[in-house]
Amino acid sequence: MVCFLIINFNEIAQFGLLFGSLKPIIAGGIDASQNYTAYLLTGGQIGSLESREIVSDPFWHWVERLYQSFWVTNIGDYPLGPVAQLLMGAVCGVALIGLVKTWQRRLETRVWIALLISQVFIFIIFPLLRFLIQGKVAWTAQGRHLLFPIATVLPLLIFYGWQTWPSPKTQRWLALAIVGGLACWSMAQLIRVVTFYPPLLPVQTTPNALTQISHPLNQPFGNHLILRGYDWQITPTNQALKLSLYWQSPSYPDEDYKMRVKLIQHNLTRLNWVAYPINGRYPTRVWESWELIRDDLVLPLFDLPAGTYQVQVQLQGAEGPLPVNNEDHFTLTEIELPETLPLKPEIPLSVIVEGRQAVRGLSLWQANQYRGVWLPRYRPRMAVSLVWQGQPAEGERVQWLLVDPLGGVHPAQQASPRFDYFVVGLDWPSGDYRLRAEVWRDDQVLASQETGLVVTIFNEKPRRLQPPVITRPLAANFANQVKLLGYALHDRSLLPGQGVPLTFYWQGLRTMSQSYTVFTKLLDQQHQVWSQTERLPADGYNTIYWLEDEVVIDSFELPVAPDTPNGVYWLNVGLYQEINHTAVSLPLILNDQPGEVTSITFGPLKVGEPPPGVVLTPQEVAPHFPMAVMLGNPPVIRLHGYDLTLTDSNLKLTFYWESIAPTEFDWNFFVHLRNQAGQTLVQNDGPAGSGLYPSSLWEPGEIVADTAIVPIDHLADENYHLFIGLYDLTSGNRLAAPGNPADEILLSQVITLDND
């Protein structure tokens, strides 16, 4: 195999004999860890530097994961997983003790034991080397990399170790037991694989596939999908419509579309089914160009009245239905539905309301094709359908709920009066679920009843759909693709050379077919860039893998160079897509339209010392009118006093603020000049710290002066009062002032104007 790769896929002409021969073996694939290792080992000649922000996992985690994945296939919630690992650990432990005893007692076997053990360790070296370089368990501790090379060696080692324990007469049976046991365990893994995975995808690539469609079409849906035809039939018992839709994609779709199928009678929607094509098993984003996709639907009809129906199909994206001939749907055909027969429930469930059976049973619709070991098994985005029997009274409705193992409930959608379905959510926990039927009248539950366990949900990677509490919300929408919900700036005061610890909270607004890179810049007051990084979010979690409404928590550290000057800085963040080796930034959506701005700036943060000349020494603080007013509850800022200078045209005020405790807000000051009637005639607002040193960066004990100019040349001659205070510009909330419900401070000096 290695020789085949070198001969047929070498790149000697580009990289030379050594690196060109190694490239097809250790670099160039999709394994980011392997590419990164090749990059480091060859000094950047081959491989790639995709992962630059790596947090190392503990070594014992790597050993545990490698051992587990070697013995037990990591497919779902394997029922014997922990038991099997403990059992095989005991077998290996006994064998290891036996090998030590054999090594000590039988010198002639040492060479063979050494050779067998060395073959095991030879194949462990490379995964171990990858882990030591990258430190990522998920990328490097994969037991399948060891299974095939040492599959023939391991039984011999176990036999050598175990043969020291039984008598010589039973050693033959021991060998058979070891080989047979390992073979049975491999067979159990195979059975698990067969029962775990759903049926094969209905994809056809043969040239004559289109000729087999009974109703051929060539109907585009938007720019990415074409409906090439359909087949339909009503089952002999008149209980279901079998509908097969044939799709092709001339290019890769840019999102995962949903499909809506309606049955319309006399302009009334009798059945409304919305789910993902292929029941969520084959997202449209990964459809290959021009492969023929057959989507088989079986829709129950037993609760629909006889008559003529239109069958309509619609594809829905994040921005609404795809256009079809200037419509939002396509009418396939008309069908004639005869009288249907009632469906006999398979699962008994009785919900009694006022002495009558509002619900008397249900069946899981088309669940046999997803049958697992014990229960039907579903994954995220798949539809769990049910049909039920019962007769609610007028004004009553039946709400079906799936109850997860944690007690959470997930409501069903109604397709027709006795046909309901659930689309498995991205955040649903794995486990066995029960069904609950609730009979409602208006806003009150009259009665409810639950079944036993009916389905298994397997969600290998539950997605986060609800954001955590975000201390710094932003809601910056980038091109209706990704939203920056907010951020956390864990330390606002840094030393030069110290990294900026950041957490971004992203949300995917839709499924995406593009990989977006996050750029983060450190800007000074003049917008000069002092540090920047470009990276995939969340340690390499590509946006292609994000699903709709998924919240991604992205923590990293922005490096700051040791020679960065002291002062106040801001962070600038955006996303871009690489097109033809050019970075194309995503525009921000403003007033529902893309604008020219492609990044958002926020902060502030401080590197080193404050800007020169902003923070005063105690000797420099000598206000003309001393005060000692604490602001905040508990206090965070103290007003030491103020200076006042009066001229013919304006009033100049200088305030002296002292930081008592850290505050997370960048406060603004306000100055109100009021007449004797309490009317505010003139005011002046501005950022505390003169806009050079925001209050969220103030250290306890620092004193900062602010100056405000109030024009007075247009005011009448009389006495005035000055009120000042601090407020948050974002919310408008004022910083609490003790003893004043309005949270403002009345300055002691009365202003008397006399223009004569």
Q: What angle do CA 558, 561, 567 make, to 5 degrees?
A: 90
Q: Could you report the per-residue pLDDT of 497-549, keeping only the tens digit for each?
A: 889 999 999 999 999 999 999 999 999 999 999 999 999 999 889 999 999 99
Residue 408 makes CB contacts below 8 A (sequence gap 6+) with 428, 429
The residue assigned the tokens 């840019």 is: 254
Q: Could you report the per-residue pLDDT of 334-377, keeping only the tens digit for each?
A: 999 988 888 889 999 999 999 899 999 999 999 888 877 789 99
**H or E stretch at 482:** strand 482-489
Q: Could you report the per-residue pLDDT of 673-693, keeping only the tens digit for each?
A: 998 888 999 999 999 998 899
- Name which of 98, 92, 97 is nearest 120 in CA terms: 92
**H or E stretch at 602:** strand 600-607
Q: Could you report the per-residue pLDDT of 730-752, keeping only the tens digit for each?
A: 889 999 998 889 999 998 777 77
Helices 32-41, 12-26: axis angle to 10 degrees equals: 130
**H or E stretch at 165:** none
Q: Tell whether the model's pLDDT for residue 52 goes beyond 70.
A: no
Residue 464 makes CB contacts below 8 A (sequence gap 6+) with 427, 550, 551, 552, 553
CA distance 352 to 363: 19
- Name which of 612, 599, 657 is nearest 482 in CA terms: 599
- Name which of 275, 320, 313, 256 is nearest 419 in CA terms: 275
Q: Tell whether the model's pLDDT for residue 310 goes beyond 90.
A: yes
Mean pLDDT of the chain: 87
Q: Tell whether the model's pLDDT for residue 67 goes beyond 90.
A: no
In degrees and rounded to multiples of 5, residue 35 shows phi and psi of -65, -40
CA distance 694 to 605: 9
CA distance 27 to 10: 11
Buried b (16+ CB within 10 A) or exposed e, 350-363: ebebeeeebbbbbb
Instruction: Give the best-scoring range by mean pLDDT among 178-187, 234-243, 400-409, 620-629.
Output: 400-409
Distances (CA, A) of 327 to 34, 221, 243, 264, 314: 49, 10, 22, 16, 10
- Name which of 671, 669, 657 is nearest 623 in CA terms: 657
pLDDT of residue 51: 45
Contact 698, 663 (CB under 8 A): yes
Residue type present at position 36: Y
Residue 571: beta bridge partners? 522, 602
Cβ neighbour number for residue 627 with a 10 Å cutoff: 15
Q: Could you report the per-residue pLDDT of 454-472, keeping only the tens digit for each?
A: 999 999 899 999 999 998 9
CA distance 457 to 455: 7
Positive or negative, the CA dihedral 467, 472, 476, 478 is: negative
Helices 81-105, 110-134: axis angle to 10 degrees equals: 130
- Name which of 702, 598, 595, 608 is nearest 658 in CA terms: 702
Cβ neighbour number for residue 596 with a 10 Å cutoff: 7
